[in-house]
């Protein structure tokens, strides 16, 4: 199974499928869920935009209703994993610019082969091209492919975002950064015998075990912020594992840093995305502060103002 197909399974089954199950019509569930379950459809998320990443609700892609049966969508999306392979995409678009930014958004299920859809892959540090930018030029979308009520797209998206954070934090090696081979390498090359290095590795091992228990607790509690807690811990732990693995590799790791087949170098470069994908660590900390610790919300001078009146960079 290729990495692209594995990613497709995660996006389709973990993110899109449950959202369609929750919000979809009977016809939509019958049309899409069997293909997702059978891994016959590749899906992508069309959420983030050049001017709407961490502040996703400020998205500007517009969907205008032309008649009772069709919408016209124009805009740009970015960082859409596997969009170049996808059959369908879950799209968020602004349908009422006179409502506050969290309102006036609607979710659509987009045929990625529709006229007006252009996909351009983006090359990553690792040399791979999993992320893409997507251009939408007056794309016609039937109203039968609208997911959830009009202007309720933010609530639909929260279902997907919560599943994404939980899915990205199943274990510390959910992203492919596992501590076990790092420990094995330390024993082989003798760095395990160094007290300082052994103490650092033991600390990571303790964090890995604690994360496993936290994942189990979060899965049982099913709180909205549970995924943020484990996603924050997982992504930062995986980066630390990648960094110490590269350090233990020593000269070999430095020599092969440009070789995509070098596991230590690949893990180091690939791990940079982990504290961004699925919501940055800063966003996760804000969610935890507000929803778990009960701290005051961050001030937002644009709260309640119509999206059309909000100043954007």
Please list the active-site residues.
164
Give 176's strand partners: none
CA-closest candidate to residue 132, choices 166, 83, 70, 94? 83
CA 268/CA 256 separation, integer angstroms = 12
φ, ψ for residue 78, nearest 5 deg: -150, 160
Rounded Cα distance, 43 and 54, in Å? 22
8 A C-beta contact, residue 115 and residue 140: yes
Interatomic CA distance for residues 227 and 163, integer angstroms: 8
Question: Which residue in the block uniquely carries the two structure tokens 């936290």?
Answer: 214
The strand pairing partners of 108, in sequence order, are 91, 146
Helix (H, G, I), strand (E, B) or coil at 152: strand
Angle at 11 between CA 6 and CA 12, to 5 degrees: 95
Distance CA 168, CA 179 (A): 17
- The helix or strand, by DSSP H or E, that contains position 91, with its residue range, turns out to be strand 88-94
């Amino acid at each position: 199974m290729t990495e692209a197909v594995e990613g497709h399974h995660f996006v389709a089954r973990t993110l899109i499928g449950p959202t369609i199950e929750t919000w979809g019509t009977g016809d939509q569930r019958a049309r899409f869920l069997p293909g997702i379950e059978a891994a016959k459809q590749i899906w992508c998320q069309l959420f983030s935009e050049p001017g709407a990443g961490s502040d996703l609700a400020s998205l500007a892609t517009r969907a205008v209703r032309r008649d009772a049966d069709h919408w016209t969508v124009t805009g740009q999306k970015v960082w859409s994993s596997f969009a170049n392979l996808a059959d369908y995409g879950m799209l968020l678009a602004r349908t009422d610019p006179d409502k506050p930014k969290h309102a006036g958004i609607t979710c659509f299920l987009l045929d990625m082969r529709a006229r007006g859809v252009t996909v351009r892959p983006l090359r990553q540090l690792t040399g791979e091209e999993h992320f893409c930018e997507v251009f939408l030029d007056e794309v016609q979308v039937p109203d039968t492919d609208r997911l959830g009520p009009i202007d309720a797209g933010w609530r639909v998206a929260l279902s997907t975002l919560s599943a994404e954070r939980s899915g990205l934090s199943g274990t510390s090696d959910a992203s492919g950064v596992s501590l076990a081979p790092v420990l094995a390498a330390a024993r082989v090359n003798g760095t395990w015998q160094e007290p300082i290095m052994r103490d650092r590795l033991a600390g990571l091992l303790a964090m890995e075990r604690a994360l496993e228990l936290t994942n189990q607790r979060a899965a049982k509690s099913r709180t909205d912020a549970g995924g943020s807690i484990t996603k924050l811990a997982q992504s930062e732990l995986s980066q630390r594992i990648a960094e110490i693995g590269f350090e233990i590799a020593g000269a070999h790791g430095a020599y092969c840093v440009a070789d995509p087949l070098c596991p230590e170098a690949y893990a180091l470069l690939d791990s940079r995305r982990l504290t961004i994908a699925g919501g940055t660590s800063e966003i996760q900390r804000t969610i935890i502060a507000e929803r778990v610790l009960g701290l005051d919300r961050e001030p937002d001078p644009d709260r309640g103002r119509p999206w059309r009146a909000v100043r954007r960079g």
